[in-house]
Amino acid sequence: MAHKVIISGGGTGGHIFPAIAIANALKRLQPDVEILFVGANGRMEMERVPAAGYEIVGLDIQGIDRKSLVKNLGLPFKMLDSLLKARRLIKSFKADVAVGVGGYASGPLLMMANALGLPTLIQEQNSYAGVTNKRLGRKASKICVAYEGMDKFFPAQKILLTGNPIRRSSVQIEGREREGLASFGLQEGKKTLLVTGGSLGAKTLNDCVLAGLDSFVEQDIQVIWQCGSYYYEALKNTLVDRLPANVVLLPFLQRMDYAYAAADFVVSRAGAGTISELCAVGKPVILVPSPNVAEDHQTKNAKALVSKDAAILVSDISARTNLVDTIISLANDEAKCFELSEQISKLAMLDADETIAKEVLKLIR
């Protein structure tokens, strides 16, 4: 009889991509495994998961709105409704194990799984555990983490250091530099910078690149500038007729492998999934953590790399005065680039998806 796995969570790409990677790994290891995703209605996973070929059911759950107390009045009722729906889903699907990757839906689903005596596995992407995962960790059977020192959040005997599952297609860059440069219309033999603020973009990074365009032209640095779909039109209109030939402005990157392959160094936010990809890619990186995340976890993610000489950190608040100078300094320091590349490559954990999938199957057996 086929094993049945229920995977819950989402909200951002940082939760959804690992969840899909775990599902794909389960299918590789045990092709007849049945998988059901549980997400939050109206969130990104409700589109991304079906696009990856998996069934998903939505819970009517949301996070706490810190800006409007009125919007939080219905939360207890939504939570109760989500718990009851999670119970029905687990029983009707006849799940053997439940996996939570973080995000709104993982709370009620794993709480109910624990209440029903189902084995549960948590995948914590960040170096600082979120409130929901800390609570769920008390009853979880196994907790897969990407950073050392997570025993300050979870019972040590349940922790397994696996790294974060990554999109394998995004980090397969061997021998693709020429192809990558050509896809962006850039030249071989010139220093190339990749700036990425994630799918939504990052205003700080965009402001810094905009201010540094003349400096990049002077230094003959090519730029792949992924600005985010939210900012793209305004930037395109601002730069109409004056975007330098060596700068490619894009709302998002369809082929991350080409972008990583073309880049000599990278400026990025410090989301857990992005960092895991950067470790696999092994390029020198400057991290500018987003301050708009719970528990300032991106700064903690970045510091975990900086402590191993694997990245440079520029704070969001100082980026507008320091980032462009830091980029140019790094571009002209081959020894530093080599050191950063060496150290970040040591942190790559390429088989996290299969390691976690094996743990999921062990919990069933």
Q: Model pTM?
A: 0.84
CB 15 within 8 A of CB 9: yes
176 Cα distance to chain centroid? 23
118 Cα distance to chain centroid? 27
Residue type, 143: I
43-52, 112-121, 155-164: segment of lowest average pLDDT: 43-52
Which tokens sit at 253?
């990157």
pLDDT reported for residue 87: 95
pLDDT above 70: residue 63: no
pLDDT class of 10 with cuts at 50, 70, 90: confident
pLDDT above 70: residue 284: yes
CB 224 within 8 A of CB 263: yes
31 sits in which H/E element = none
Instruction: Summarize pLDDT for 231-274 with one digit per residue, the tens.
Output: 999 999 998 888 888 999 999 898 999 999 999 999 999 988 89
Instruction: Summarize pLDDT for 307-338 with one digit per residue, the tens.
Output: 999 999 999 999 999 999 999 999 999 999 99
pLDDT above 70: residue 96: yes
Annotated binding-site members for UDP-N-acetyl-alpha-D-glucosamine: 12-14, 126, 167, 199, 298
Residue 295: φ, ψ to 5° = 60, 20
Residue length of the chain? 365
Q: Which of 82, 15, 6, 79 is nearest to 44 (CA)?
A: 15
Identify the structural domains of the chain with CATH numbers, from first to last. Answer: 4-166+350-364 (3.40.50.2000), 169-346 (3.40.50.2000)
Give Dmax over CA atoms of the chain in angstroms.
Answer: 65
Tell me which residue has tokens 């759950």.
61
What percent of the chain shows pLDDT beyond 70? 96
pLDDT class of 148 with cuts at 50, 70, 90: confident
Annotated binding-site members: 12-14, 126, 167, 199, 298
Enter the DSSP assignment of 200. T
Question: CA 244 to CA 190: how far, in whole Å?
Answer: 15
